[in-house]
Structure 1
Amino acid sequence: MTIEASIVNLVYLIAAVLFIFGLKSLSHPRTAVRGNIMGASGMLIAVIITLFDQQIVRFELILVGLVIGASIGVVLATRVALTSMPQLVALFNGLGGAASMLVAGAALEQELFKGTDLGPAVHHSFRPLRPHWIGRHVLNILLGLVSVGLVVWLAIDPSSSVPFWALVAVAAVFGITLVVPIGGADMPVVISLLNSYSGLAAAATGFVLENNMLIIAGSLVGAAGLILTRIMSKAMNRSLTNVLFAGVGAVAASAAEADEVYGGKIKAAAADEIAMLMEDARRVVIVPGYGMAVAQAQFAVRDLTNLLDSKGVEVEFAIHPVAGRMPGHMNVLLAEVNIPYEKLREMDDINPSFEQTDMVLVIGANDVVNPVARDMDDPSNPIAGMPILNVDHARTVVVIKRSLSPGFAGIPNPLFAADNTLMFFSDAKQAALDLVSAIKEV
């Protein structure tokens, strides 16, 4: 069965519209589920029309792949915790790039098998990839040069698939050597960039295959990834070059450095002491962080929020753009337990109000509240200039943390030793439960 090109392109257009509105819906927690459904629906109809357009009549292997893929997807969806979502997203980005590579490779092998020329579209699509920055490792420079040489070889002599598969092997090693040195503090930026790469790979494959759907979908993903990368870099006040080559977070600081380095005294507090302070507070701001996600404390935090609301205390949440190592990580966790979206305040919006806040409850956050970020004169400071939540301006700060260990940037946090800070050493979930019990007993 042959389908007219106009019909195929019309279906592709419908799918593209679904992708665009799906991306738009993902910008708000209330519409995110709908956005996912729209995007998935667009991909489904695009896949179906492509299968029939390409006259694929033997669906046995495709059905087997669908069953295997769906099974893996169900397991990942039900088993992978939100704290492991950054790793999962990075894996998906890698799989997306690998899928584009396999499709392009299959198209190349098919043309070679036919013994036909690849045509001007393919010749036009292969372009040498040139590095934009000088790497700090000689190995990366060599790998980049080898990659360029292989691309040129393939473009000049497309009669063999050897340079293509050699390029795949070299690029795989190159990707590993580029990403491994990058510090954990920069993970949000790197994942956004990898997401963009996977989209650009799909778009490039679309040009090779002259497939409008791949071009549109890949361009949308690539553009969205680049925009998000820029937003994340701005949130950390770091250039993309610095993120890719600086290796922030490679060295961890000693857990005992706070007293020694900053000359302050760590003041530990118990749940009943903090409960009494909360009883007298008119406004409490909660700062969620990665520690809250690790402990799966969002349900206990919701109970604490509802209890304080019932006692007439104004409760809000201060959300840093990179809290939890992934953009929107904290928003997802809090939306999961039905905390009203109106209570979630972005950093720029809530920072001016900390001076009028009676208590800030920091739950498992570290670098995003570290005052050291304001020190622009120290060249060794990896988070210098990074916008932070100004929690130290509040009347009282309570930090829930299991220890004094540093965050992903690997530097101690002087907030822990500040005069207005109390440390509540505990697991985030247990701490929230203890606070609920203590407040009820006050």
Structure 2
Amino acid sequence: MPQALVNIAYLISALLFVFAFKGLSHPRTAIRGNLLGALGMLIAIVVTLMDKSIVSYELIILGFIIGGVIGAVLAIKVQMTAMPQMVALFNGFGGGASTLVAALAFIEATQLNKTLGTQETVATVASGIIGAVTFWGSLVAFGKLEGIIEERPVRYKGDQIVKILFALSSIILGIYFGLERDISYYWYLVAASSVLGVLLTIPIGGADMPVVISLLNSYSGLAACATGFVLNNNVLIISGSLVGASGIILTNLMCKAMNRSLTNVLFGGFGEIVAGADEDKVYGGKVKSASPEEVAMLLENARRVVIVPGYGMAVSQAQFAIRDLMKVLESKGIEVEFAIHPVAGRMPGHMNVLLAEANIPYEKLKEMDEINPTFEQTDVSIVIGANDVVNPLARTDSNSPIAGMPILDVDKSKTVVVIKRSLAPGFAGIPNPLFAADNTLMLFGDAKKMVQELINALKES
């Protein structure tokens, strides 16, 4: 194809990617944004294949069929609660693909006796390092989210020094690769970077998974961008840059929502058991347990109810039961809204996705800044499986691991009902005084089952 036509097609793809991001910024336009992004990628792939004179279409079709079947099966089988794990895998596969493509481009150039320029050499090294870190870091994140690996931070003495040594080793091997033009050094740096990816992710606790996922997403984009420079492919450079930049922006927003720096997320070991956290002192003789029937009586007399979903809702898949509870309450003339914390769940927007799956109107989902001033006028707040994001220690204890973290001010409601299996701490590893507050009632049990019993009690009344 004429190069001018290729560049025009790539420009159209890039514009579609930009409009896709714009569409994905709001639920009403998310489907359209997703379709625009898919169309942009289709154009980029078709034009790239038509532009290359030596292409094994048989292998491409075979890969398309295999990947399509795997993707279709996953789309049908994977539960919405497992979407964070899926995103982690997607990030990892993107990084791994960038690493392999950069290696194959170098091997091809060597076989054709081509000399790589400085741009291609540096980009190849960047693809190898970032791609390997992304791939193995994402696999660790997947393991933590899936429960295969311990969710709490895995720390050991001198862990920071070990990470620095592997990072320096990757860089030094990259320099040797650039000087010697020997593919062996590339695989050495990939091996060192792979270990680095594991070491960077294994010390991070489950509470920080939303930040880690968005950061790994950025890494996968940067790896793709570097590979674009290796291949001199403009659309890959543009799309990789978009993903890398958006991932960094999202990571920064998530860190602000937790009142923590990225450095603290990566090296702070958030989620370790906090020494001296005396649960008996916080809870002893103060926790008041209630039955679904007692909570139903409270709700009968309420005018405004706010539901706060957390990871416990995702685990029990209680979103459909919560939708039914909302309908029952509204049929009795009670105003119902949902308070969404930016880092509730396992990835950005996790609660929004689950509630959307249950067809809960988006207008009822209120962000933290909008809902917090209204809690004092709320008769009953129902906390479903959330912990750290409603812990008042973030406001009252400057020595707490979550000190300064913006939280949902549910404790200011007239009555708080917490649906939780037990008094076990959240990922921060600290007790929650909200559970022992004078205006709090604990409804112990599985979220889905307890909500269903609430609905039955309300209907009977």
Provide the identity percentage: 63
Alignment of 1:397 onto 2:413: no
Aligned equivalent of 1:172? 194
Equivalent-residue separation in structure 2 for 1:315 and 1:258 (angstroms)? 33
- Which residue of structure 1 lines up, in the alignment, with residue 300 of structure 2? 279
- Report what 1:216 is aligned to: 238
Report the Cα offset of residue 163 of structure 1: 1.0
Q: Residue type of the partner of 2:170?
A: S
Matched residue, 1:429: 448
- Tell me which residue corresponds to 1:336: 357
Post-superposition shift, 1:136? 4.5
Q: Which residue of 2 aligns with 1:109?
A: 107
- The residue that corresponds to 1:357 in the other structure is 378
2:395 alignment counterpart: 374
Amino acid at match of 1:291: G
Return the letter of the residue paired with 1:302: R
Which string of whole-angstrom CA distances, capped at 9 and with x for unpartnered residues, describes residues 324-357 of structure 1?
1211111111111211111110001110110110
**Which deviates more, 78-87 or 234-243?**
78-87
8 Å CA contact 1:319–1:330 kept in 2: the answer is yes
Q: Which amino acid counterpart does residue 265 of structure 2 have in structure 1?
A: V
Alignment partner, residue 43 of structure 1:
41
Aligned residues: 433
- Alignment partners' CA distance in 1, 2:348 and 2:169: 35
1:253·1:406 contact (CA, 8 Å) conserved in 2?
A: no
1:295 corresponding residue in structure 2: 316
For residues 63 and 188 of structure 1, what CA distance do their matches in structure 2 show?
Answer: 35
Task: Give the counterpart letter for 2:190 in structure 1.
Answer: V
Answering whether residue 218 of structure 2 is matched by residue 192 of structure 1, we say no
CA contact (8 A) 2:398 2:404 kept: no
Question: Could you tell me how far 1:81 is from its partner in structure 2?
Answer: 2.0
Preserved CA contact (<8 Å) 1:285 1:316: yes
Amino acid at match of 2:195: V
Amino acid at match of 1:400: I
Question: Is the Cα contact below 8 Å between 1:136 and 1:245 reproduced in 2?
Answer: no
The alpha-carbon deviation at position 10 of structure 1 amounts to 0.9
Letter in 2 for 1:327: P
Q: Is 2:163 the partner of 1:140?
A: yes
**Structure 2 residue aligned with 1:96, among 58, 70, 94?**
94
Q: Is the 8 A contact 2:416 2:439 kept in 1?
A: yes
TM-score by length of 2: 0.90
Distance 1:9 1:42 in 2: 13
* Aligned-partner residue type, residue 420 of structure 1: N
Q: Tell me the CA shift for residue 420 of structure 1.
A: 0.3
| TM-aligned CA deviation for residue 417 of structure 1 | 0.6
Please state how far the C-alpha of 1:29 moved relative to its aligned partner. Answer: 1.6
- Give the distance between the partners of 1:314 and 1:265, measured in 2 at CA: 30
**Secondary structure at 1:315's aligned position in 2?**
strand
* TM-score relative to the length of structure 1: 0.94
Spell out, residue by residue over 1:143-191, the C-alpha distance to the aligned partner (whole angstroms, 9 max, x if none): 1111111111122222x21111111111111100111001111111111
CA distance in 1, matches of 2:54, 2:39: 21
Distance in 2 between the 1:162 and 1:281 partners? 70
In the alignment, is the contact (CA less than 8 A) between 2:204 and 2:265 conserved in 1? yes
Task: Give the 3-state SS of the residue equivalent to 2:345 in structure 1.
Answer: helix
Contact 2:163-2:200 at 8 Å conserved across structures:
yes
Q: Partners of 1:385 and 1:120 in 2: how far apart?
A: 46
Counterpart-to-counterpart distance in 1, 2:273 and 2:419 = 24
Offset of 1:392 from its aligned partner?
0.2
Indicate conservation of the 8 Å contact 1:126/1:155, yes or no.
no
Q: Partners of 2:454 and 2:425 in 1: how far apart?
A: 24
Letter in 1 for 2:252: R
For residues 47 and 139 of structure 1, the distance between their equivalents in structure 2, rounded to whole angstroms, comes to 41
d(CA) in 2 for partners of 1:221, 1:171: 21
Q: Corresponding residue for 1:85?
A: 83
How many angstroms does 1:281 deviate by? 0.3
Q: Give, in whole Å, the separation in 2 of the partners of 1:304 and 1:258.
A: 32
SS of residue in 2 equivalent to 1:318? strand
> 1:257 offset after TM fit, Å?
5.3
Q: What code does the residue aligned with 1:194 have?
A: L
**Unaligned regions of 5+ residues in structure 2, if any?**
131-157
Q: Partner amino acid for 2:196?
A: F
Per the TM alignment, residue 58 of structure 1 is displaced from its structure 2 partner at its CA by 2.6
Corresponding position of 2:67? 69
> Any gaps of 5 or more consecutive residues in structure 1?
none
> Using the alignment, how far apart are the partners of 2:60 and 2:288 within structure 1?
62
Aligned-pair CA distance for 1:126: 5.6
Measured at CA, do residues 252 and 336 of structure 1 come closer, stay the same or move farther in structure 2, by a change above 3 Å? farther
1:312 aligns with 2:310: no
CA distance in 1: counterparts of 2:333 and 2:398, whole angstroms: 43
Tell me which moved more, 386-395 or 4-13. 4-13
- The one-character-per-residue Cα deviations of 1:40-61 (angstroms, maximum 9, x if unpaired) are 2211111111111112443111
Give the drift of 1:120: 4.2
Q: Distance in 2 between matches of 1:376 and 1:261?
A: 13
1:84, distance to aligned residue in structure 2 (A) = 2.1
Task: Give CA-to-partner distance per residue, 1:99-120, whole Å, 9 cap, x none.
Answer: 1111111100001111221134
Matched letter for residue 413 of structure 1: N
Partner of 2:425: 406
Distance 2:169 2:289 in 1: 57
CA contact (8 A) 2:380 2:414 kept: yes
Pairing 1:152–2:175 present: yes
Give the aligned partner of residue 119 of structure 2.
121
Residues 80 and 363 of structure 1: CA distance in aligned 2, closer, same or farther (over 3 Å): same
Tell me how far apart the structure 1 counterparts of residues 69 and 273 of structure 2 sit (CA, whole Å).
Answer: 40
Q: CA-atom RMSD, angstroms? A: 2.0
Give 1:262 shift: 5.1
* CA-CA distance at 1:260 after TM superposition: 2.5
CA contact (8 A) 2:102 2:124 kept: no
Match of 1:268 in 2: 289
